[in-house]
Amino acid sequence: MSGGVDSSVAAILLKQQGYEVIGLFMRNWDTSVNGDILGNPNLGDSICPQEQDYNDALEVCKKLDIPLHRVDFVKEYWDFVFTYFLDELKKGRTPNPDIMCNKYIKFDYFIKEAKKLGADYIATGHYAKMEKGYLCRAKDLNKDQTYFLSQLSKKQLENVLFPIGDIGKSEVRKIAEEYDLVTAKKKDSTGICFIGERNFKQFLKNYLPNMPGSIINIETKEELGKHIGLMYYTIGQRRGLDVGGTEDKLFVVGKDLNKNILYVMEGEDNPYLYSDSCLIEDVNFNCELRPTSCTAKFRYRQQDYPVTLKYLDNNEILVRYEPVKAVTPGQACVLYLGDKCLGGGFIKEVRKDDKKLWYLL
C-alpha cells in the first residue's frame, strides 16, 4: 500500500475476489537525514510527502477494513538503489533507479517481509499481467509498467498478483471514487522512485559536486557555452542547455567524461543522434524463451523496435536494429515477444556501423 490510487484499487479488487488482504507500507527514504522535496533538510512545520502517503494508505486501509503494517527499508534502498543511481551518474550514464527498486526492494525485501506476515501471495499496483507464467503487458498500454519489471527473475514473479493489469487508469479512478477513497483524485507519483518530485539539480548537489565544462558543437567544434555538470543531461535532450538563441534547435548528442565536454548538434534528425546497434549487459531473463529476433524498448515512453539478438559471453547481448534515435548508455533495453516481456539488460555501448560511438562514452 503506497498511498496511491493504484495500490488502493488493487486492494479493493483482491477483497472482491475473496482474498484476505494485508497492507504493507514501505518507508525507503529518510527525509530527516536526506532532505525534503527540494533537497532542503529543514522541513519546518510541513508534513513530508512520504508521511502524507502513509497517512493516505492508513485511511484507505481503515475504510477497506484491512490491517496496515509499516516497514523501513531505508538502508537497503540506499545500498542497492540510490548508490547505484549515483554511481551511474558519475559515469555520465542515464540510470533508471525504478528498475533497481523493483529488483531489490519491492520484489525482494518486500516479499521477505510479506512472508513473515504469513502471506501466500504479494500484490502491487503495477500495470502488468501474469499469464501462464509469463510477464505480459497490461491492458492499458499507455500505463504498462513491464519495462520497470524487466530485471525481475522467474522466481521473483512466482505468487505475484497484478490486480489492475486488466483495467485502464480511468476505471481505476472510477472504482476509487465509488469507494470514496482519499486517493481517488490523488496525482500520480513521478520523479525518482520513493524519493519523488524534486528540484533535481538542487537535490543532487547534496551528493555529487557540480563540475562545469564546455558545450561544444560536435561537428564544427565551436564552443557554444558552459554546462553545469554532465550528470544533468541525457542524450536527445533539447531543453535546459542555456546557450542563447539557438537552444531550441540544439540537441544533446554525446558526452566526453574525460574532457568534461557536452556535445550538441542542431536538428532533431541529425546523424549523431542515431545508432544501429548496442551492447547490453547484466542481462536478465524471466522465462525460458531466448529468441534471436523480437522487439525492444530503449526507453519507457517509446515504441517497440524490431531487433535481432546475438548472445555473447559475460551475460551480454549485441542488439541490432534499424537506426533508432537517442539510444542512451545506462538506460534499460527491454525485450518483448508479442505481449510477453522477456526481461532485458542495461545499455553498455552504443554503436553505428559496428563501431562504438566515442561520444557516447
User: 105 forms bridges with which residues in the sheet?
Assistant: none
- 293 and 283 in contact (C-beta within 8 Å)? no
**Do 25 and 68 contact (CB within 8 A), yes or no?**
yes
Q: What confidence score (pLDDT) does residue 165 get?
A: 98
Please give the backbone phi and psi of residue 114, each rounded to the nearest 5 degrees, phi first. -60, -40
The residue that leads in pLDDT, 40 or 269, is 269
CA distances from 246 to 45, 199, 239, 311, 359 (A): 43, 25, 11, 43, 21
CA–CA distance, 78 with 91 (Å, rounded to integer): 18
* pLDDT of 245 over the 80 cut: no
193 is an active site residue: yes
| The pLDDT value given to residue 195 | 58
Of the candidate ranges 40-54, 163-177, 197-211, 330-344, the one whose mean pLDDT is the lowest:
40-54
The yes-or-no answer on residue 101 being catalytic is: yes
Averaged pLDDT, 272-298: 98
Q: Any idea which fold 209-266 has?
A: SH3 type barrels. (2.30.30)
**What CATH architecture does domain 274-356 belong to?**
Beta Barrel (2.40)
CATH number, span 5-200: 3.40.50.620
Q: Could you tell me the three cell numbers for 118?
A: 504469513
Lowest mean pLDDT among 26-40, 199-213, 257-271: 26-40
With residues binned 3-state (H G I as helix, E B as strand, rest as coil), the percentages for the chain, rounded to 5, are 25, 30, 45
* Sign for the pseudo-dihedral over CA of 299, 304, 310, 313: positive
Domain borders along the chain are 5-200, 209-266, 274-356
Instruction: Please tell me the least confidently modeled range out of 130-134, 187-191, 269-273, 298-302.
Output: 187-191
Cβ of 32: how many Cβ atoms within 10 Å? 9
Q: For the chain, what is the mean pLDDT?
A: 91
pLDDT tier for residue 37 given thresholds of 50, 70 and 90: very low
Let me know if the fold of 5-200 is the same as that of 274-356. no
Highest averaged pLDDT of the listed ranges 52-56, 57-61, 190-194: 57-61
Query: Which of the following is catalytic: 101, 136, 278, 341?
Result: 101
* Given the residues 48, 61, 136, 193, the one annotated as active site: 193
CA distance 35 to 48: 10
pTM: 0.92
Cell 541490432 maps to which residue? 320
Grid cell in block for residue 325? 534515435
